[in-house]
Amino acid sequence: MLNTINSWFNFEIVALKKLNGYENINYLLKTDSAKFIFKKYTYSEAMLAIIEAEISVLKALDKPKSISN
């Protein structure tokens, strides 16, 4: 799997750890300068809708929040 991930992304993985998941398999990928979560799903139409919803939530969480007084 490391070879596949390394071929998709332009960084070298220095550590890989399998994490718990409900509907997927999650891995913590560590590089020299960052950490990433790699999520592996079994494809189905129902799962595609769940993945799209998850992406929407993650994008919303990634947006900077403005602080108002």
- Return the pLDDT at 21: 79
pLDDT tens, 3-32? Answer: 777 778 778 888 989 998 777 889 999 989
CA distances from 47 to 44, 57, 62 (A): 5, 15, 22
At residue 69, does pLDDT exceed 60? no
Cα–Cα distance for residue pair 45/3, rounded to 1 Å: 28
- By DSSP bridging, strand 15-19 and strand 35-41 are unpaired
How sure is the predictor about 67, in pLDDT bands with cuts at 50, 70 and 90? Answer: low
pTM: 0.65
